[in-house]
């Protein structure tokens, strides 16, 4: 029985030392995360602000002409910001209903065998790298969208044809990409609704569908909103997949226009940008960062609100 | 006990903060060169060019930099690295030259990245690579930054359309009208009733710069798609009916149709004599004269100018400058 060993069979002194050391190690690890977020925020602010003074905040945020390498460069990213917003909203409008209904199917109404096929398919979808979505978009989606474009604008003399690389293609690729996120989290939220709610509703005579739409989904509201916000985060931050299908022209975000997102603007020009151009790209990164922070703040508010509802 | 814990936490935080900020300030002090390994590199051999310094040969074996001008480069002795970055149009010649050179000198490593002419010039000015590949002439500003323009070949820019298109010739004015968006349907040019999809390269591309300058549409082009590489333009034109694009002559294959410009075909004599409108030089820019570079880089240029090198250049479909 040695009394100087570091084991759970020890004296009070050794046990205390082990406890204290472990606490310190945990705190140090946690500090990594805090420092990472802190330094990213500071670095983004430091690199994003020079361009604001060089070019002027109004010119950057509200200018409409993006010609950084011309004789008289102009750095207006208004259309780029609008494209990111419009593209994200459209992909949410398409992707969230489909995702939510699939989650309801998986959680509530699926026969066991069908669920056994659909669930692994959704999990596989979650694991596919985003570049593959872009490649499939080019191969399969672009020709179809081009045919649609030719049909819709038949005889038009003012439309600039994009050959299938436009806002619609990007939005469709994005909606498919956010499906796995939305489905998985919504399904977890739906399954976490206490089963007494469902039993009470059915006992009062409601049908299964009425129960789902009037009792279970409202009860799982905060989880579903979490899923939506995470989907928004993924859609607004996606770069590689939509670089291949969005067309890369800085135009107003109409469905059949070749458009540029905040993310694709940075990706396509960072490698050769210099001087003011490079600083403006960092400012674009800062704008993107601000969007994500905003979305996270909204998420936190909604989560707190949801907790209050659930507890009341 | 509690105070010891507090001190330990404080020291850990201080240590991490200082390491983060020294790392930040170090990367700010370096010239902004760490961004050229992002988008645009194909999966050819990429070098960690963010850390190699161009003027010292950090060879992995022996250091053979003879600074007194003696060129003792027997094949077994020469070692070191040559790093290139830049034009995607020059991919074929860069890879061919790298392979041939490494075959001749087994201890030398030659690597190339394909990030676009603008990015390549930026990298060589910053000193992160030895050679910057550019598919256009250097501007006065770039030469004032210390770069020397070494033209190794002349290349033609081919105008390509998809295989179903019947138009076989375009005049310079028609090209300008197409790219400025004034003509929007192939039937106005003698083809079928098909809208024109105008495809071009991103703004840092040497091919785009050369094309726009030669046709006279600089800063006036209306592209519907701005694609980041030569291969990308080929793929898009091949798969989109009614599209038109410009690529380097040596990558044209039978997935697309070539269009003659002003009824002149892009043959060797027409390109070297500059009768074919769209010919441009392939430049391997170095910071300072070739004689001021490392021994390995000098040997690389010597190879390109030897008969072997000239045959290699011709074999990939390029033409030798006069």
Which positions 33-62 of B are in contact with A (Cβ < 8 Å)? 35-36, 38-40
Interface check for A143 against chain B (CB to CB < 8 A): the answer is yes
Nearest alpha-carbon partner for A109 in A252, A21, A249, A217 = A217
Residue A53 in domain = no
Q: Kindly indicate the confidence band of residue B31, based on its pLDDT and cuts at 50, 70 and 90.
A: very low
- A142, A165, A272 member nearest B116 (Cβ): A272
Instruction: Specify if A143 maps to a domain.
Output: yes
Same domain for A220 and A130? yes
DSSP string, A213-263: IIIIHHHTHHHHHHHHHHHHHHHHH--HHHHHHSB-------TTS-B--HH
Is there a single domain that holds both residue A162 and residue A207? yes
CB–CB contact B40 A271 (8 Å): yes
Quick one: A266 and A302 in the same domain? yes
Pairwise pLDDT comparison (B204 vs A165), residue with the higher score: A165
A10 located within any domain:
yes
Q: Are residues A19 and A123 in the same domain?
A: no
Query: Would you state the pLDDT for residue B220?
Result: 82
Same domain, A81 and A35: no
Instruction: For residue B246, list its beta bridge partners.
Output: B159
User: B78 vs chain A: nearest CA distance in angstroms?
Assistant: 32
Q: How far apart, in whole angstroms, are the C-alpha atoms of residue A99 and residue A91?
A: 12
**Looking at the partner chain, which of B36, B122, B225 has a beta carbon nearest the beta carbon of A247?**
B225
Structural domains in chain B, CATH included, are: 77-153+281-315 (3.40.190.10), 155-279 (3.40.190.10)
Asked if the structure places residue A156 within a domain, the reply is yes
How much is the pTM?
0.74
Q: What is the pLDDT of residues A79-112, one digit of tens each?
A: 999 999 999 999 999 999 999 999 999 999 999 9
Pairing verdict, β B243-248 and B151-162:
antiparallel
pLDDT band at A310 (very low <50, low <70, confident <90, very high): low
Domain count across chain A: 2
How confident is the model at residue B274, as a pLDDT? 77
Could you tell me if A11 lies within 8 Å of chain B, comparing CB atoms? no
- Confidence at B250, pLDDT banded by 50, 70, 90: confident
- Any A CB within 8 A of B166 CB: no
- Note whether A160 contacts B: Cβ–Cβ < 8 A: yes
The answer on A71 and A28 residing in a single domain is no
Last residue of some domain: A48, A67, A83? A48
Residue B286 C-alpha, separation from nearest chain A C-alpha, in angstroms: 17
Q: Which residues of B touch A153 (CB under 8 A)?
A: 195
Residues A116 and A224 in one domain: yes
d(CA B259, CA B273): 19
pLDDT of residue A171: 94
The verdict on A118 and A231 lying in the same domain is yes
Residues A150 and A185 in one domain: yes
Residues A36 and A112 in one domain: no
Secondary-structure percent of chain A, ordered helix, strand, coil, rounded to 5: 75, 0, 25
Q: A71 lies in which domain range?
A: 58-311
Q: Decide if A163 and B12 are in contact by the 8 Å CB cutoff.
A: no
Verify whether the Cβ–Cβ distance A258 to B242 is below 8 Å.
no
- Average pLDDT for A231-257: 88
Confirm or reject contact between B23 and chain A (CB < 8 A). Answer: no
Number of C-beta neighbours around residue A9 at 10 A: 10
Helix (H, G, I), strand (E, B) or coil at A312: coil
Residue to substitute from A12, A149, A161, interface B, most B β-carbons within 10 A: A161
Q: Lowest-confidence range among A90-94, A307-311, B44-48?
A: B44-48
More confident residue, A298 or B126: B126
| B168-185: pLDDT as tens digits | 888 989 999 999 888 888
Cβ–Cβ of B196/A161 closer than 8 Å? yes
Q: Write down the pLDDT at residue A261.
A: 92
């Amino acid at each position: 029985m040695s009394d100087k060993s570091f084991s759970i069979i020890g004296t009070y002194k050794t046990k205390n030392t082990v406890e204290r050391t472990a606490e310190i190690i945990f705190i140090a690890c946690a500090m990594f995360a805090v420092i990472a977020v802190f330094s990213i925020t500071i670095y983004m602010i430091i690199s994003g602000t020079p361009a604001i003074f060089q070019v002027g905040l109004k010119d950057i945020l509200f200018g409409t002409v993006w010609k950084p390498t011309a004789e008289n460069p102009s750095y207006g990213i208004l259309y780029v910001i609008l494209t990111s917003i419009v593209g994200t909203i459209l992909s949410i409008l398409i992707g969230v209903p489909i995702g939510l209904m699939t989650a309801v199917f998986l959680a509530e109404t699926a026969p066991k065998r069908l669920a056994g096929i659909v669930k692994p398919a959704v999990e596989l979808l979650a694991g596919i790298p985003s570049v593959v979505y872009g490649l499939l978009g080019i191969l399969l989606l672009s020709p179809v969208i081009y045919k649609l474009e030719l049909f819709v604008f038949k005889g038009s003399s003012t439309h600039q044809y994009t050959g299938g690389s436009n806002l619609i293609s990007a939005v469709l690729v994005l909606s498919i990409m956010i499906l796995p996120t939305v489905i998985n989290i919504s399904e977890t939220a739906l399954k976490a609704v206490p089963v007494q709610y469902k039993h009470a509703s059915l006992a009062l005579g409601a049908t299964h569908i009425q129960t789902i739409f009037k009792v279970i989904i409202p009860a799982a509201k905060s989880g579903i909103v979490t899923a939506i916000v995470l989907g928004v985060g993924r859609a607004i931050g996606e770069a590689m997949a939509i670089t291949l299908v969005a067309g890369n022209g800085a135009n107003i975000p109409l469905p059949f226009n070749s458009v540029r997102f905040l993310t694709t603007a940075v990706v396509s020009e960072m490698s050769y940008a210099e001087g003011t151009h490079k600083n403006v790209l960092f400012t674009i990164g800062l704008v993107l960062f601000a969007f994500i922070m905003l979305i996270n703040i909204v998420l936190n508010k909604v989560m707190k609100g949801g907790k209050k509802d659930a507890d009341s | 006990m509690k105070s010891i814990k507090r001190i330990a936490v404080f020291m850990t935080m201080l240590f991490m903060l200082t390491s983060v900020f020294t790392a930040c300030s170090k990367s700010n002090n370096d010239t902004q060169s760490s961004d050229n390994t992002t988008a645009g590199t194909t999966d050819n051999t990429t070098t960690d060019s963010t850390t190699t310094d161009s003027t010292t040969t950090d060879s992995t074996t022996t250091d053979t930099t003879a600074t007194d001008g003696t060129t003792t480069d027997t094949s077994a002795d020469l070692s070191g690295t040559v790093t290139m970055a830049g034009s995607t149009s020059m991919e074929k010649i860069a890879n061919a030259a790298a392979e041939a050179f490494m075959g001749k000198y087994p201890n030398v490593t030659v690597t190339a990245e394909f990030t676009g002419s603008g990015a390549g010039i930026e990298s060589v000015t910053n000193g992160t690579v030895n050679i910057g590949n550019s598919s256009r002439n250097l501007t006065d500003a770039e030469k004032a930054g210390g770069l020397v323009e070494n033209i190794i070949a002349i290349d033609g820019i081919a105008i390509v359309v998809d295989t179903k298109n019947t138009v076989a010739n375009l005049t310079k004015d028609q090209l300008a009208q197409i790219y400025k968006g004034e003509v929007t349907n192939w039937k106005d040019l003698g083809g079928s009733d098909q809208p024109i999809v105008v495809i071009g390269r991103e703004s840092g591309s040497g091919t785009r710069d050369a094309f726009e300058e030669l046709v006279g549409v600089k800063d006036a082009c209306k592209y519907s798609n701005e694609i980041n590489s030569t291969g990308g333009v080929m793929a898009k034109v091949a798969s989109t009916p009614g599209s038109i694009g410009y690529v380097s002559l040596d990558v044209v294959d039978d997935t697309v149709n070539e269009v003659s410009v002003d009824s002149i075909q892009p043959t060797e004599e027409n390109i070297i004599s500059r009768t074919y409108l769209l010919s441009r030089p392939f430049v391997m820019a170095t910071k300072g004269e070739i004689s001021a570079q490392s021994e390995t880089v000098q040997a690389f240029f010597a190879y390109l100018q030897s008969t072997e090198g000239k045959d290699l250049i011709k074999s990939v479909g390029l033409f030798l400058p006069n």
